[in-house]
Amino acid sequence: MENILKGKVAVVTGGTRGIGYAIVQKFLKAGASVALCGSKESTARGALERIKNEFPEAPVKAIWPVLTDSKSVEKAFSEVAEEFGSLDILANNAGISQSTPFYEYTEQEIDKILNLNIKAVMICSQAAAKLMKGKGGVIVNTSSVVSLYGQPSGCGYPASKYAVNGITKSLARELAKDRIRVNAVAPGIIRTDMVANLPESMIQPLIKTIPIGRMGEAEDIANAFVFLASDFASYITGAVLSVDGGVMI
């Protein structure tokens, strides 16, 4: 997929680690200019330093707007578009998960996950769409397989990802007239830092639920983002693409 994003400018939220960092890497390899977005300056600059070590000449910068603050996001995205010449791709990847039992949920926990996993997606999408309007662009959101099947604890997380699917499908219809495509990727069981630290006695039963016979890697998800962001997916919008090895939870 080398150079299939050549000349494109992308913002990746939650781009400092895990899936987001892999998306940044893949976008750069595909020829895009990238603004990686972190939750705070220190983590964003740290990720930028790591990327620069891998891609010394890469057109990449770090940003750290408050994703739940529309003015902060609009300012950051406008600066990206001014520096790189446009904003063509938004990867809405920032988010948090929860496993809190329902009887123990607090209002603060509910607000936290809804703010970052839903409100921030809408704010970032709106800011990006304003810059893409009339020129065209692509928004790709991170959903989850639990948006399709739910999970046994921490219902706030699948609720937020159900909402991401609804935002994706609705914006795909509303923004099509502006030549903006909107899709989502729903990762399955992915080898993140948290999963990698689990004992084999927990990992092996997880793998047995996956028909392909292995956990996914962050790169598997990033590849789907590259495809959906590219012209190869020019007739795809409103899709929620499951990248899960065929798992049926």
Contact of 25 with 36, CB cutoff 8 Å: no
157 carries an active-site annotation: yes
Residue with tokens 């000349």: 7
End-to-end CA distance of the chain: 31
- Cβ contacts of 206 within 8 Å, gap of 6 or more: 189, 215
| Helices marked H in 14-61 | 18-29, 41-54
Which one of the listed residues 21, 103, 105, 157 is annotated catalytic?
157
Cα 141 from Cα 238, distance rounded (Å): 11
Cα 226 from Cα 66, distance rounded (Å): 25
- Catalytic residues, which ones? 157
